[in-house]
Each structure stands twice: as structure tokens, then as C-alpha cells.
Structure 1
Amino acid sequence: MNAPRITVAMSVYNNEAFLAQAVESILAQSFGDFEFLIVNDGSTDGSPAIIDGFAARDPRIRAIHQENRGLVASLNRMIEEARAPLIARMDGDDIALPLRFERQVAFLDAYPDYGVVGVNTHDIDEKGIIHRAFDFHPLDHDSFVAALPDGPPLCHSSVTMRREAVRALGGYRKAYRHCEDYDLWLRLAAHTRLCSLPDRLFHYRRSDGQVSVRHIVAQQTGAAIAWAAYRERTAGRPDPTEGLEQLPRLEELDALFGRKGVTAEVRSRVALGLLHSSSAMGGEGFTMLIDHIRDGGTRDGLWRTVARLVKFGQPLQAARLAVALATH
């Protein structure tokens, strides 16, 4: 049997409400030369039956059922089992428009120096309402690199990647759970080129249950450590997080990186990135913000955060922040 051009890699955990629509959007692609790996990562809802139903009707689908191991383990399993030279990511609640694969394959065929290409997106909410976007993910590699300090410049579930480029770096790293894509882009940027197509060929699902909402502090903290590790690598020093099973606590970062100030740098990066999250400002993120101020970090715009906390219905935090700003 000839290998397909694309392996579609979808990890599913309790996506029952949106899964059928996500799968159907892949089966409706104008470019149909793919195998479709769907890992049921220990779902407890109706997702397994939905997956098996589609697999029975379309021979391109291979269902893999496993106990819950998390997204990183599921993605690495699919990378190892992929038969195609290209791997297309997909999540169980998003929607790929019909020309996505066709345009991505054409781009990668035309530009062999690019190893990853995403597409631009619109958002879609839990009710299926599309919220149109007007900004763009970077459209060339130089713009992609320039955007890296601000977070992931690609929509992870929209990308198509060259399998060997990802495998050469060991795939996704377990320690960077919840920000595994950002860590991967930072590592890949030194070895290949990355960008997104201008075409908006993807609907990215926004919901209160998504990782970037439920685990926002852990995600932002991991991303800040990934950025610190990237800076070590670009300076010609070893990556101190290489081989870790989990990331250390903030107060352990100076020792891990072998220099003072890393803890404060990471804390500041995280705290200032959480100012618009009411959930983060109601807990660990607020503590980081106060420590950032006590460390002598920038205060630009933080008086506006006092007013924002009042708007969030968090007057005690607003008062504590005002006192910290006035006394430190």
C-alpha cells in the first residue's frame, strides 16, 4: 500500500459535543490523500462511539483507544505511527474548511525550506457562532520569529508539519504540558522555517473549558520558561530544561539556569500576561503580580489593573494592588 501524503493527528478527550463536526470537516477536504489517526485519550463521554462509527464508514480513519495519557503523549504516539511525510494537526472541537489541506500541501511542495505551515483562522464559540478575525498570524518566517516573544504565532491545530523535522527534535516535550506547541515552535525555528497562509481556512473553537482558560497560569508559566530556555539556546548555552519530566517551581529556576534573575524574569513575564484574566487575578496570578511589584518590576499600566479588578468584582485584590503600587 502506498503511503498517503498526510497523516491527520487528532487527540480526543471528551469532545462529544463537537467531535462529529470536526471529523466531518476533515473528511470533506478537497485534498483526500490522507490517513486519519484519532486517539481517544481515555474519554468518559460518547466520544469513543462517535470515533468508532466514523472509522467503520471510512477506511482512512484509524481509531486508537488508550487510557488517559494527556495530549503530549497522544501526539507523540501519532507522530511515531504516522506513515505520511506530512502531519496535519486537528483538534476534536475545531473545524477545517475544505481547502485547508490542498493549500497547505501546495505551499510545502513549493517551499521545501518551510517545515511548518498553518492557516489563518476565525473563532467559533460553543453555540457555533463565527467571530471573524481581522489580524493575521505571521505570513513569512522572519515575521514569525519577530512574533515569538509574544507567544505562539501559529494556531496549533491548524498546522501541517514535515514529520521528519518534528521527529528530529524528539517531538513534543512532556515537561511543557499545556504549552507544548510554543516550545516546539521555539525549537523548530532554529532548524526550519514556519509561517501561516493568509487564507482563513479554519474555525478555532473558543470555550470556557479549553486549556487556555482552565490552565491559564500553568500555560503562561510554561511558556515563559520555554522562552527562557530558547534564549539560552540562542546564546549558545545548553537548554537546562532538556530531559525534564516536569518543569520546576519558579523559585528553583535560578539554580536550574545557573544564574540569578531567571525566577524574577519568568514571574514578571507571566504576571503581566495575566492582567486581563479574572480567574488568574483571583488566585495564583495575582500573587505573582504582587511579587513582580516587590521585585521592582515595571508598573506601566498597573493602576488600570486596579480599576479592572474592581470591574472583575475583586475589590480586595484591587485594594491590595493599590497598596503595593503605592508602597513599593
Structure 2
Amino acid sequence: MAAYNAAATIREAVASILWQSLSDWELIIAEDGSTDGTLGVIAGLSDNRIRVLSDGTNRGKPVRMNQIIDQAQAPYLAIMDADDFSYPTRLERQVSHLEANPHVDLLASGMATFDEGGHAGRWRRLRTEHADIVRHPWLGFHFNSPTWVGKTAWFQHHRYSEGLRVAEDEDLLLRASATSVLEALPELLMAYRIDQWTWSKARSMRRDHAKALARAAMRQRDLRPLAGVAVHGAKLLREGLAVATGREEVLLRKRALSLSGRETERLRTLYARLQREASQ
């Protein structure tokens, strides 16, 4: 877990790891020079399975993820953002699948969205079979990166590019997918916090996506990734119009599917429980 200015949310994120049905884990938190008291919140977490890395500087998520990869000792590495939460059986379900399918290098899962008030949102689109995930990598993988669990050796071989501030996950897949096996479980095992969509955020994300695609085109000597650059340019224009006209919610809805009433209630119940446990 890389953490930057996550004082308001990291206690809940950690609580969702503490409640996992699989209890044999180590949580490595790489604190990235936060200015909002995140390190103090982390210091108040009392569980000997939690290890904190901190040097007081802000170096970006890719640097912190590579530090975590270097420190990881378990055979599998699970990604966890400091403002999301894992469902109670997440680690058990994903590790069981990897154990039963040793040819799989990296496993994702279904992911619901929620807002600052804990209101359930939607179901992020996801591809589950390897052939579908990697069919047109330059147009996107649809492979929920906050839900990843993979072989630690795979992450050690395919490290994050430290020159990117966002889109580091997409860049990693562009470099690794041709020689890796990717799969996803369709069930919801993670809740992803949606915050306010801004023009600055959209521009940074699309810029780094385009940079990753340009690198892929040069590395592979293949012009097809450049089609993805054009796609991201078109998406940036659409996002700019959405922000300018106050239609961000419409934009976000187009990227996801509706949750069922049952899954909506499940998320609400889990989040209420999580808040109680995080406050103790």
C-alpha cells in the first residue's frame, strides 16, 4: 500500500485488510512524504503484521510500489490503495485461484465504486479471460489495477516505471502482457473510492497513458500503440467538455455497469461495518 495524504481514509483501508478471512499476510505501507498527518495515523495502527516504510520525501507512487516489491517476502503480492477497501474474502479468493492455477501471473477481480459518503456507485467494466484482456492492449486492458494480486516474482521482474506519476499500471501491462498470463475473477472483491473528477486529473492521466503508449510503440517497433494515443486524445476532449459543463457524473456512469440491489446493499453494509471497526 503506497500512501500519500491519506489520513482521512487509510484507517478504513487497513481495517479492510485486518478483517480478511485469510489471516496469513504482511501489510507493507510505503508512506510518501504526506503533509496531512498520514504517518501519524499509520503510527497508531497496532498489528505486528503491518510494516511501515517512510523517508519523509514525496517521490511518487511508482517509486513506493517498487520499494514494496523489494521488501515483499510472501510468494504473492496484493495491491491495495489507501482510499479503497477490500471485501472480507478478497485475499482468500484470489490466492486460492492463483494456487489452483499456477500458470496465472496476475489476477484481478470485480470492483464496485463508492463515494465519500459511502454511497454505492457502479460496477467497473472488466475482462476476465487472458485472450480478451490482451487482445488490443493499446486500446486498454479493462483489468482493474486496484484489485491486482500476483506472483511476487512477476512484480520483481516487471517493475513500475518511476518516470510516471499516473498510468503506471497501464504502462506495466503494456510492457509485460506479451509474456504474462492475466486473468480476473468476475465477482466483486474490492470497493474503489470515486473522488471529484477534474480537468487537471484527466489531463495528467491521459498524458501519462499517451507517454506509455508511445514508449510501447518505440519498444515494439509497432505503430499500432499510436492508435491508442489518438483514442486518449479524444477521451481527454470528451472529459474536458464533461468537466466544463458539470456532467462528470454522466461520464463516470458510461464507464461502469449498474450494481444490483443486492450488491448495493452488501457494499453499504460492509462500509458501515468498516467505519465502526476503523473507529475503534
Which bracket does the TM-score occupy, shorter chain normalised? Answer: 0.7 to 0.9
Task: Report the equivalent of 1:99.
Answer: 89
- C-alpha spacing 1:32/1:147, structure 2 compared with 1 (3 Å): farther
Task: Report the equivalent of 2:205.
Answer: 219
C-alpha deviation, 1:50, in angstroms: 1.4
Aligned: 1:130 with 2:116: no
C-alpha deviation, 1:213, in angstroms: 6.1
Task: Report the equivalent of 2:275.
Answer: none
Task: Report the equivalent of 2:266.
Answer: none
Give the one of 33, 42, 61 matched to 1:51: 42
Contact 1:29 1:99 in 2 (8 A): yes
Contact 1:31 1:101 in 2 (8 A): yes
**Whole-Å separation in 1 of the counterparts to 2:229 and 2:216:** 16
- C-alpha spacing 1:228/1:58, structure 2 compared with 1 (3 Å): same
**Whole-Å separation in 2 of the counterparts to 1:107 and 1:213:** 39
Aligned: 1:141 with 2:141: no
**Whole-Å separation in 2 of the counterparts to 1:267 and 1:168:** 26
C-alpha deviation, 1:311, in angstroms: 4.3
**Whole-Å separation in 1 of the counterparts to 2:91 and 2:244:** 46
Contact 1:225 1:266 in 2 (8 A): no
**Whole-Å separation in 2 of the counterparts to 1:155 and 1:145:** 13
**Unaligned stretches of 5+ residues in structure 2:** 248-280
Contact 2:87 2:190 in 1 (8 A): yes
Task: Report the equivalent of 2:268.
Answer: none
Q: Secondary structure at the match of 1:182?
A: helix
Contact 1:208 1:214 in 2 (8 A): no
**Whole-Å separation in 1 of the counterparts to 2:48 and 2:187:** 29
Q: Identity across aligned pairs (percent)?
A: 31
**Whole-Å separation in 2 of the counterparts to 1:200 and 1:174:** 30
Q: Mapping of 1:75-224 within 5 angstroms?
A: 75-133=65-123, 136-146=125-135, 148-169=137-158, 171-208=159-196, 214-224=200-210
**Whole-Å separation in 1 of the counterparts to 2:91 and 2:58:** 29
Which amino acid in 2 is paired with 1:113?
Answer: H
C-alpha deviation, 1:215, in angstroms: 2.8
**Unaligned stretches of 5+ residues in structure 1:** 1-9, 239-258, 282-307, 314-328
TM-score under structure 1 length normalisation: 0.68
Q: Secondary structure at the match of 1:201?
A: strand
**Whole-Å separation in 1 of the counterparts to 2:244 and 2:35:** 39
Contact 1:152 1:181 in 2 (8 A): no
Aligned: 1:41 with 2:29: no
Deviates more, 1:213-222 or 1:188-197: 213-222
Q: Secondary structure at the match of 2:179?
A: coil
Task: Report the equivalent of 1:13.
Answer: 4
**Whole-Å separation in 1 of the counterparts to 2:200 and 2:5:** 15
C-alpha deviation, 1:186, in angstroms: 1.5
Task: Report the equivalent of 1:272.
Answer: 234
C-alpha deviation, 1:24, in angstroms: 0.1
**Whole-Å separation in 1 of the counterparts to 2:209 and 2:133:** 16
Aligned: 1:65 with 2:54: yes
**Whole-Å separation in 2 of the counterparts to 1:147 and 1:120:** 20
Pair member with larger Rg: 1
Deviation digits for residues 215-250 of structure 1 (CA, Å, limit 9, x no counterpart): 32232122123234334545xx49xxxxxxxxxxxx
Which amino acid in 2 is paired with 1:220?
Answer: R
C-alpha deviation, 1:116, in angstroms: 0.6
Which amino acid in 2 is paired with 1:269?
Answer: V
Q: Mapping of 1:170-319 within 5 angstroms?
A: 171-208=159-196, 214-234=200-220, 237=221, 268-277=230-239, 280-281=240-241, 311=245
Which amino acid in 2 is paired with 1:207?
Answer: D
Contact 1:136 1:198 in 2 (8 A): no
C-alpha deviation, 1:162, in angstroms: 0.9
Aligned residues: 246
TM-score under structure 2 length normalisation: 0.79
Q: Secondary structure at the match of 1:167?
A: helix
